[in-house]
């Protein structure tokens, strides 16, 4: 995956949003972190992996992928806030349980929030990529969906979203 181009696209989008909303001098790290947690919850909700009480099936894979790339937007943006442009390293295997992998991502997110080191950012990015693999997404699908959502995000800004 070409991470450098994704960081460039995310930086341009972040700059555009900050200019549109006159946020140039505001520290947005906390808000972006909460946005990531919200997106993780939305993603988990679409997979329904934790809903042991329900027989309703998971949503379509296209919807799950769209929610997944929303998380990538905020993870990249958080990295940019702290000056990191890492590609994920993925030592170790992902769990085969979606609920467990979501918890690993939440834990990595909290670790990065409380101790925003490059090592903790790398762990967050890696756990999130493992989640994507577990959900069945390959690099090409993720890149394509990210690019599409990036365009939608610009359109939303132009429409006063």
Range 3-158: architecture per CATH: Orthogonal Bundle (1.10)
Under 8 Å between Cβ of 6 and 146: yes
pLDDT given for residue 77 in this prediction: 97
pLDDT given for residue 53 in this prediction: 97
For the chain, which ranges sit under pLDDT 70? 1, 90-94
pLDDT tens for residues 134-154? 999 988 899 899 899 888 888
Closest CA to 82 of 130, 126, 124, 42: 124
Average of per-residue pLDDT values in the chain: 92
Q: Classify the phi-psi angles of 16: left when phi > 0, otherwise alpha if psi is within -120 to 50, otherwise beta.
A: alpha
| Cα gap 128→137, rounded to integer Å | 12
pLDDT tens for residues 32-53? 999 999 999 999 999 999 999 9
């Amino acid at each position: 995956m070409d991470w450098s181009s994704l960081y460039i696209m995310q930086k341009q989008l972040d700059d555009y949003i900050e200019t549109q909303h006159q946020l140039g001098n505001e520290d947005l790290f906390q808000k972006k972190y909460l946005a990531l947690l919200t997106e993780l919850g939305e993603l988990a909700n679409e997979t329904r992996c934790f809903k042991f009480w329900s027989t309703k099936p998971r949503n379509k894979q296209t919807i799950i992928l769209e929610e997944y790339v929303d998380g990538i937007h905020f993870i990249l943006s958080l990295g940019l806030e702290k000056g990191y442009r890492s590609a994920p390293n993925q030592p170790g295997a992902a769990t085969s349980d979606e609920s467990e992998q979501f918890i690993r991502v939440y834990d990595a997110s909290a670790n990065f929030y409380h101790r925003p080191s490059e090592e903790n950012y790398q762990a967050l990015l890696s756990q999130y990529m493992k989640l994507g693999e577990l959900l069945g997404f390959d690099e090409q699908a993720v890149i394509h969906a990210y690019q599409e959502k990036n365009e939608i995000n610009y359109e939303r800004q132009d429409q006063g979203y």
